[in-house]
Amino acid sequence: MNLKEPEAPASTESIVTSTSSDVTLSEPATPLLWHPISEVQCREFYNETYCRVGVQTRDGLTVRFAPRQFDHAFFQSPAKTVFCIPRAERVRWIGPLLADPRATLACGYIKKKKRYTVERRVAIWPERRYVVIIIIERREPHCAHFLTAFYIDGPKWEPTLDKLVASPHWTA
């Protein structure tokens, strides 16, 4: 796969395309990359936008966000000590990806158990190299918790993306 970082449209509204006299809605627009001034600003946006309200997925799951997951999603390195700018720039992509009916959905992989599970759902925008992972609640299967979100970058981004897309497809 030879994918480049796409130019994002200017709004989160659907793009309207016109063909002769017909007006049709095409794919939802990807929010622009956001350039937070600091970790504090990004954390405030995450808390206000996601933790207070939550997100509804395309198939009706209610995704809850915990403030403690911010560090997991927006810091990198083995000890999660370095604030990751490429992840922070895409903080506004989390909700739209979860709601996008064209997103690729895959089962999550549990490394310790070395197996895939339907309790973890991976939403992928392959063309944008962006991933959001949620955990489906066992007691309330219509609810989920946000685990993490990330931009696939680095020297091995292509095999990582290919592996995620080739994972078993998630079905309810």
CATH of 37-166, one of 3.30.565, 1.20.1440, 1.10.3470, 3.10.450: 3.10.450
Alpha carbon distance 128, 9 (integer Å): 12
Which segment of 7-11, 30-34, 40-44, 141-145 scores lowest on mean pLDDT?
7-11
Alpha carbon distance 79, 94 (integer Å): 23
pLDDT, residue 37, reads 76
Domain ranges of the chain: 37-166
Q: What is the mean pLDDT of residues 29-53?
A: 89
Q: What is the mean pLDDT of residues 10-21?
A: 35
Token pair belonging to 144 = 């989920």
Helix (H, G, I), strand (E, B) or coil at 74: helix
Token pair belonging to 160 = 């990582």
Q: Which pLDDT band holds residue 29 (cuts at 50, 70, 90)?
A: low
Taking only the tens place, the pLDDT of each residue in 68-100 is: 999 999 998 888 889 999 999 999 999 999 999
On the question of pLDDT at 15 being above 70, the answer is no
- Nearest C-alpha neighbor of 170 from the set 114, 116, 111: 116
pLDDT, residue 28, reads 56
